[in-house]
Amino acid sequence: MIRLREEAIHYKEKTENKYMERMFKQHKLSPRTYDKKRHELETWVTKERDEIHKTKKVFEEQWKKTTAMIE
């Protein structure tokens, strides 16, 4: 499940970057707007990856506790 979320984030990042680059090259986005949107996307991706990392860590801790109780 975590892997699917990572793949979805990667896919969205990739498609958004392609879209913004295409719009920038066609002069539909100004350099300033392009930089702003790219920064927003990077911020979102970083936030989501941090969230995934936290979720993984909690899952691993719970798994260790469960295996310790079983032993």
Cα–Cα distance, 65 to 70 (Å, whole number): 9
- Hey, where are the domains in the chain? 2-70
User: What does pLDDT average to in each consecutive run of 10 residues of the chain (71 residues)?
Assistant: 94 97 95 96 97 95 92 82
Helix residue ranges per DSSP H, the chain: 2-25, 31-70
- The beta-carbon contacts of 2-9 under 8 Å, at least 24 apart in sequence, are 2/52, 2/55, 2/56, 2/59, 5/48, 5/52, 6/49, 6/52, 9/45, 9/48, 9/49, 9/52
Cα–Cα distance, 63 to 38 (Å, whole number): 37
pLDDT at position 71 is 82
pLDDT at position 1 is 86
